[in-house]
Protein backbone atom coordinates (compact mmCIF):
# COMPACT_ATOMS: atom_id res chain seq x y z
CA UNK A 1 0.00 0.00 0.00
CA UNK A 2 1.18 3.52 -0.74
CA UNK A 3 0.91 4.55 2.94
CA UNK A 4 2.78 1.64 4.53
CA UNK A 5 5.41 4.00 6.00
CA UNK A 6 2.73 6.18 7.55
CA UNK A 7 0.86 3.15 8.91
CA UNK A 8 4.13 1.87 10.36
CA UNK A 9 4.76 5.22 12.07
CA UNK A 10 1.28 5.30 13.64
CA UNK A 11 1.46 1.65 14.73
CA UNK A 12 4.92 2.19 16.20
CA UNK A 13 3.59 5.09 18.26
CA UNK A 14 0.90 2.72 19.53
CA UNK A 15 3.42 0.31 21.01
CA UNK A 16 4.02 2.69 23.91
CA UNK A 17 0.64 4.30 24.46
CA UNK A 18 -2.67 5.17 22.87
CA UNK A 19 -2.28 7.41 19.84
CA UNK A 20 -4.18 10.73 19.84
CA UNK A 21 -5.86 11.97 16.66
CA UNK A 22 -3.39 14.86 16.65
CA UNK A 23 -0.48 12.47 16.17
CA UNK A 24 -2.23 10.76 13.25
CA UNK A 25 -2.80 14.18 11.65
CA UNK A 26 0.79 15.28 12.24
CA UNK A 27 2.10 12.05 10.72
CA UNK A 28 -0.22 12.43 7.71
CA UNK A 29 1.04 16.00 7.20
CA UNK A 30 4.61 14.74 7.27
CA UNK A 31 3.86 12.10 4.61
CA UNK A 32 1.53 14.13 2.37
CA UNK A 33 3.08 16.17 -0.38
CA UNK A 34 0.50 18.32 -2.13
CA UNK A 35 -1.89 15.87 -3.72
CA UNK A 36 -3.45 14.06 -2.04
CA UNK A 37 -3.89 16.48 0.83
CA UNK A 38 -3.13 15.48 4.40
CA UNK A 39 -6.86 15.26 5.10
CA UNK A 40 -7.30 12.77 2.26
CA UNK A 41 -4.28 10.83 3.48
CA UNK A 42 -5.73 10.81 7.00
CA UNK A 43 -9.04 9.43 5.69
CA UNK A 44 -7.29 6.66 3.76
CA UNK A 45 -5.02 5.67 6.62
CA UNK A 46 -7.84 5.68 9.16
CA UNK A 47 -9.86 3.39 6.93
CA UNK A 48 -6.85 1.08 6.42
CA UNK A 49 -6.07 0.92 10.15
CA UNK A 50 -9.67 0.12 11.06
CA UNK A 51 -10.66 -2.16 8.17
CA UNK A 52 -7.52 -4.28 8.69
CA UNK A 53 -8.14 -4.36 12.45
CA UNK A 54 -4.68 -2.89 13.06
CA UNK A 55 -6.00 -0.36 15.57
CA UNK A 56 -9.19 0.39 17.46
CA UNK A 57 -10.65 3.88 17.58
CA UNK A 58 -12.33 5.27 20.69
CA UNK A 59 -12.15 7.71 23.52
CA UNK A 60 -10.59 7.95 26.94
CA UNK A 61 -13.06 7.40 29.76
CA UNK A 62 -13.13 6.36 33.40
CA UNK A 63 -11.97 2.84 32.52
CA UNK A 64 -9.15 4.02 30.23
CA UNK A 65 -9.41 3.43 26.49
CA UNK A 66 -13.03 2.81 25.48
CA UNK A 67 -13.37 1.59 21.88
CA UNK A 68 -16.26 2.80 19.77
CA UNK A 69 -18.71 0.21 18.48
CA UNK A 70 -19.46 -0.32 14.78
CA UNK A 71 -17.99 -1.56 11.55
CA UNK A 72 -14.79 -0.13 10.09
CA UNK A 73 -16.50 2.09 7.51
CA UNK A 74 -18.86 3.64 10.06
CA UNK A 75 -16.04 4.13 12.58
CA UNK A 76 -13.77 5.77 10.00
CA UNK A 77 -16.58 8.12 8.97
CA UNK A 78 -17.33 8.97 12.61
CA UNK A 79 -13.65 9.74 13.22
CA UNK A 80 -13.41 11.91 10.09
CA UNK A 81 -16.62 13.74 11.03
CA UNK A 82 -15.13 14.43 14.46
CA UNK A 83 -11.93 15.78 12.89
CA UNK A 84 -13.99 18.00 10.57
CA UNK A 85 -15.94 19.33 13.58
CA UNK A 86 -12.59 20.45 15.06
CA UNK A 87 -11.49 22.02 11.77
CA UNK A 88 -8.86 19.27 11.45
CA UNK A 89 -7.13 20.68 14.55
CA UNK A 90 -8.49 18.77 17.56
CA UNK A 91 -5.72 19.74 20.02
CA UNK A 92 -6.23 16.62 22.13
CA UNK A 93 -10.00 16.84 22.11
CA UNK A 94 -10.81 14.09 19.65
CA UNK A 95 -10.50 10.31 19.34
CA UNK A 96 -7.64 8.01 20.24
CA UNK A 97 -6.26 4.88 18.55
CA UNK A 98 -5.21 1.68 20.31
CA UNK A 99 -2.92 -0.97 18.83
CA UNK A 100 -4.42 -4.45 18.37
CA UNK A 101 -2.63 -7.80 18.30
CA UNK A 102 -3.18 -7.82 14.54
CA UNK A 103 -1.54 -4.39 14.36
CA UNK A 104 1.38 -5.66 16.38
CA UNK A 105 1.77 -8.61 13.96
CA UNK A 106 1.58 -6.30 10.93
CA UNK A 107 4.20 -4.06 12.47
CA UNK A 108 6.54 -6.99 13.17
CA UNK A 109 6.30 -8.02 9.51
CA UNK A 110 6.84 -4.48 8.15
CA UNK A 111 9.19 -2.91 10.67
CA UNK A 112 11.61 -5.59 11.73
CA UNK A 113 10.22 -6.37 15.18
CA UNK A 114 9.49 -2.91 16.58
CA UNK A 115 6.16 -4.30 17.78
CA UNK A 116 7.89 -6.46 20.36
CA UNK A 117 8.64 -3.45 22.57
CA UNK A 118 5.40 -3.38 24.53
CA UNK A 119 2.02 -4.93 25.12
CA UNK A 120 -0.93 -4.37 22.81
CA UNK A 121 -3.69 -2.29 24.29
Domain boundaries, the chain: 4-111
User: What pLDDT score was predicted for residue 34?
Assistant: 77
Q: Which fold has domain 4-111?
A: NMB0513-like (1.10.3510)
Q: List the pLDDT tens digit at each of the 121 positions of the chain.
A: 468 889 999 999 999 999 999 999 999 988 887 778 899 999 999 999 999 999 999 999 999 999 999 999 999 999 999 999 999 999 888 999 999 999 999 999 987 654 454 444 4
Do the strands 19-20 and 64-67 form a parallel or antiparallel pair, or are they unpaired? unpaired
As a whole number of Å, the CA-based R_g of the chain is 13
Distance CA 121, CA 116 (A): 13
- C-alpha 7/C-alpha 9 separation (Å) is 5
Amino acid sequence: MIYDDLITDVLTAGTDDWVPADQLLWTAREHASGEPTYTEVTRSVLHALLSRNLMLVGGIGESGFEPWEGDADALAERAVHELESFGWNPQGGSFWLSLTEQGRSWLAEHDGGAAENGPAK
